[in-house]
Structure 1
Amino acid sequence: MFNTPYKFNYLGHTKTKTEPFNKLHKFAFKCRFNHRYIVRVEEYENLVFVVKFYLKNHENSDKKYQLLSGFNDVARVISTNIEIMFWLYQKNDLSLFGFIGANSEDEEVAMSKRFKVYSKVMLRCFSPNKFFHRKSSTNSAYLLLNKKHIETEENLEELIKEMFIKYYDMSL
């Protein structure tokens, strides 16, 4: 179903004191149509990484995560984001991940098309032997909870869910 990912570049990270996350990691890649994508990975406490991406041309839009490129290149773009997640996981095998399948302008937040696609892909790419898969269809939110990490700290899953609820204004 998914093609070879694009080669991505790690642009580095910045530490922040004004945002709820501790670090912002930035990545970039170009698609086959020579358009640039930006991947923002917000790193929160407890090694929680929240992955977001958008087309560079949409960077100044308030709806940058909702807009579609129209390139019909979704498989390779998602594959590249997954490769970035694997890259982070290789850096620290206690990493946990989260994302929201943003709704397009003409659809409801619940069960967005992106969420449906991402949910299927995550089950294929992240083994249930290593990760708990937690979904909130109402919010189109997805958490990949690293079993190795979750089992080392009591109530960690609840802390992560509370963080998502607080910073992303949702219920899980």
Structure 2
Amino acid sequence: MCINISFNHFKYRFVQNIKGTENSVPKILYRFKSDITHQVYLVWVEIYPYNLYAIKFHLKRDSGSRLKYNKLTNLNETRPVVKTCIAIMLEIHSKDNKSSFGFIGSNTICDRKIKNRTVYIHEPEAKTKRYNFYSRMMLTYFSDNIFQHEVIEEKSAYIMLRKAEYEKDNDILNKITDYFQCNFDIIHN
């Protein structure tokens, strides 16, 4: 079994497959609406070589913002939102028996009102709060019998390599990290 325990999540739906181009990777788009705040979230699943699926999500209302992955929503629903992303990962896992997963816990960048003054917050990229939370969730919900959990703390990156794929090619982690280093500009467009 991939997942360690059962859990509740928001009802999500598939929106569309988006073909990759010379400047972008293929993506799968999902959406869901929070039962708590009624906000709509978009979940982007980017498809990389070696059957690596990178999960990204943000509020739909922030779609036009270049900081959509860095903002604090202050909606206090992080856990059910991440559990919904986990449900999407499990759906992909059931369809692709070679799938591995990854994410980056983006650093927080925002303005915050504290005691009647605005404070600018710019969290460093290494070991972010999001990264720490997402990492705990992955370790809680995904069995290390199926996935090898790898971290790149200086980039707040987390990769869950499918052990069966790692056993076939124990250089796969290096291949994945090399791919990201060579294609950084394409990936971040």
TM (normalized to structure 1)?
Answer: 0.91
Structure 1 CA distance for aligned equivalents of residues 8 and 72 of structure 2: 21
Equivalent residue, structure 2, for 1:98: 102
1:141 matched to 2:166? The reply is no
The alignment status of 1:111 with 2:114, answered yes or no, reads no
In structure 2, the residue matched to 1:132 is 148
State how far apart, in whole Å, the 2-side matches of 1:96 and 1:136 are. Answer: 16
- Asked whether the 8 Å contact 1:52–1:99 carries over to 2, the reply is yes
Residue 11 of structure 1 aligns with which residue? Answer: 15
CA displacement at 1:19 relative to structure 2 = 3.0
Q: 1:148-167 counterparts in 2 under 5 A?
A: 148-153=164-169, 155-167=171-183
| Equivalent of 1:85 in 82, 89, 93 | 89
Q: 1:121, 1:168 → 2: CA distance?
A: 26
Q: CA offset at residue 142 of structure 1?
A: 0.5
Which residue does 1:41 correspond to in 2? 45
Query: Which residue of structure 2 lines up, in the alignment, with residue 27 of structure 1?
Result: 30
Match of 2:80 among 61, 76, 79: 76
| SS of 2:154 mapped into structure 1 | coil
CA distance in 2, matches of 1:73, 1:3: 15
Kindly indicate whether structure 1 or structure 2 has the higher relative contact order, using CA contacts under 8 Å at least 6 residues apart.
2
Q: TM-score, normalised by structure 2?
A: 0.83
- 1:20–1:167 Cα contact (<8 Å) kept: no
User: Can you give the 5+ residue segments of structure 1 that lack an aligned partner in the other structure?
Assistant: none
**Identical positions, percent:** 32
Distance (Å, rounded) in 2 between the aligned partners of 1:73 and 1:166: 35
